[in-house]
Amino acid sequence: MSRIKNRFFIACLSVALAIALFTGVFAVMGWGSLLQKVGSAALYPFQWVGAKVGSGVSGFFSYFEDIDSLRQELESLREENESLKSELIDAEILADENSWLYHYLSMKEEHGDYSLCAASVISASSSSGEGGDYALSLTLNRGTSSGVQTGMPVVTSSGLVGVVVETGINHCLVATLLDTSVSVGAVTTRTTQNGLCEGDYGNLHDGCATLRGLPEESDVAVEDIVITSGRGSVYPYGIPIGRVVDIRSNAYSRTTEATVEPFTDFANLTQVVILTEYIHYVDGYENTQGGSP
Amino acid sequence: MNRPAGRRGSIRYTAVGTGRPVLVEQIYLISLLLITGIILIALETTALSRIRIPLFGWQAAAPSLGLLFSMAVGFLHGEREGGVTGLLCGWLSDSTTGEAMMLFPLLYFLCGYLSGTVGKRRLAHNLPSFGVFAAVGGGLKCLLAVLSASVRLGSLPPATWVWRGLIPSWILTVLFSAVVYGIVKGEQWILKPKA
């Protein structure tokens, strides 16, 4: 048994030595080793699979190897994100301001006869409704020091807001169109029928006003546009008020009433314009020259 | 278990319980060992060649799975099987390195054969004992690499190369000895006759 084992050992050892010797000699002679080529060819398919598996595993573990750099990157990205958020807020504010100034400029160009005073809303007294909180009164950052007086109309580029009812040195209080104490002489553009546009408790939760005093046989219709008529010497002629959304008859006063949805968004008012001076027209005809409210 | 005396760890007894001829059992064993060896060497030279140990400068090192496999086969199956496996695995390993002189068949054969003979006579057949063999075999391979490099360079190789290249490889070889031992043990269990 021992002899067999020794024979086996000697045979294998001889083979191993022969492999080493011949490959070495062939390499010195400049011939590539056939044995190596055969071995490589046999291994190649398995190595190909192994390389695929290895690259997948390596990709997985490289995540953990790079964890420190990823953490640092995450931290810097967070800081950048905060900074960008702040810049975005600034940009939004600037965009709002830009939009407002654009409308303000448009108003000045459109109404050369108006003297305008831009103002910001400091605070608002609101009534909650389905579409949000509708402002009933506004406090603006302009007062008598800016030439603001009681009774001056307040508008936006969209339409009428209300009227100044109280002034301080550097602030003023505005009652909006939705306030029940405000009445605006109004006219429908299509039928030229006059009425009074007022705040109404019944329509307050919808953010709407009511146009009263229309003749019983009035042919006012839904979608008719309502503007200021200039009657009453407070509001200049032609300021858009809103659009008729509903019509009903008042049997007691024998008149027609219309619900008017204002063009001004009373839920999101931030910038307004006070009309400090304007040429007064009534129903499109000049009434006083260089008048003021 | 019907194990013939004096052949502990050899596959010859497996034919007794299965009823299959010894030759068939040998063919099963050789096929299984050959496929496992090829897969392990393919893994050693591809997927596992990118392992990095932080202490050693993140340089990639690979465990000598072919060497471990040869030694494990010798340790668990017998010196003949270990020797032949070592010869084949050494040949395949050297085929991938592109070395001018193929010395791995010689080294792997000696390690596989000696782990069979020494392990059978001197040590208990368990994992810690095999770990000792793996450490010695890995060390011999490192020594062979140093000698080869010295012959090529005409002087001793740089210490950095030994520290960052060979020692991580030796550590990985020792660590992976448990895995390879488990694989060969599992194969032995597969081929073992079931009651």
Question: Residues B35-49: pLDDT tens digits?
Answer: 888 888 888 888 777
Minimum distance, in Å, between the CA of residue B78 and any CA atom of chain A: 11
Contact between chains at A8 and B83 (C-beta distance less than 8 A)? yes
Question: A56: helix, coil or strand?
Answer: helix
CB B63 within 8 A of CB B172: yes
Nearest residue, CB atoms, A23 vs list B39, B101, B113: B101
Q: For position B2, what pLDDT does the model report?
A: 44
φ and ψ at A248, to 5 degrees?
-150, 160
Structure tokens at A50: 């192994």
Give the pLDDT band of residue A241 (cuts 50, 70, 90).
Answer: very high
Nearest CA in chain B to A55: B47
Which residues of chain A are within 8 Å of residue B100 when distances are taken between CB atoms? 23-24, 27-28
Give the pLDDT band of residue B9 (cuts 50, 70, 90).
Answer: very low
Question: B82: helix, coil or strand?
Answer: helix
- Residue B40 within any structural domain of the chain: yes
Q: For position A226, what pLDDT does the model report?
A: 92
**Buried b / exposed e across B89-112, counting CB within 10 Å, b at 16+?**
bbbbbbbbeebbbbbbbbbbbbbb
What structural domains does chain A harbor? 115-288 (2.40.10.350)
- Residue B9 within any structural domain of the chain: no
The 10s digit of each residue's pLDDT in B75-122 is 888 888 888 888 888 888 888 776 667 788 888 999 989 888 887 776
Q: Is B48 on the interface with A (CB under 8 A)?
A: yes
Which residues of chain B are within 8 Å of residue A25 when distances are taken between CB atoms? none
Which residues of chain B are within 8 Å of residue A12 when distances are taken between CB atoms? 83-84, 87, 109, 113
What CATH number does the domain containing B81 carry?
1.10.1760
Provide the residue range defining the domain that includes B53. 14-191
Q: Is B102 on the interface with A (CB under 8 A)?
A: yes
Q: Which of A7, A36, A37, A61 to mutate to test the interface with B (most CBs of B within 10 A)?
A: A36
The 10s digit of each residue's pLDDT in B159-194 is 777 777 788 888 888 989 999 999 988 888 887 765
Q: Is B151 on the interface with A (CB under 8 A)?
A: no
Q: Which of B92, B101, B147 to mutate to test the interface with A (most CBs of A within 10 A)?
A: B101
Number of H helices, E strands in chain A: 4, 14
Which residues of chain A are within 8 Å of residue B80 when distances are taken between CB atoms? 5, 8
Tell me how many domains chain B contains.
1
Q: Is A36 on the interface with B (CB under 8 A)?
A: yes
Minimum distance, in Å, between the CA of residue A77 and any CA atom of chain B: 28
- Calculate the dihedral angle through the C-alpha atoms of A62, A63, A67, A70, rounding to the nearest 10 degrees: 110
**Buried b / exposed e across A145-183, counting CB within 10 Å, b at 16+?**
ebebeeebbbbbbebbbbbbbebeeebbbbbbbbbeebb
Q: What is the pTM of this model?
A: 0.49
- Residue B4 within any structural domain of the chain: no
- Residue B3 within any structural domain of the chain: no
Nearest residue, CB atoms, B42 vs list A28, A47, A58: A47
Give the pLDDT band of residue A103 (cuts 50, 70, 90).
Answer: confident
Which residues of chain A are within 8 Å of residue B96 when distances are taken between CB atoms? 39-40, 43, 47
Instruction: Assign 3-state DSSP to chain B and report helix, strand, coil percentages, each to 5.
Output: 75, 0, 25
Contact between chains at A46 and B50 (C-beta distance less than 8 A)? no
Give the separation between CA B31 and CA B27, rounded to whole angstroms: 6
Q: For position B3, what pLDDT does the model report?
A: 43
In this structure, of A74-78, A133-137, B71-75, the range with the lowest mean pLDDT score is A133-137
Give the separation between CA A176 and CA A182, rounded to whole angstroms: 7
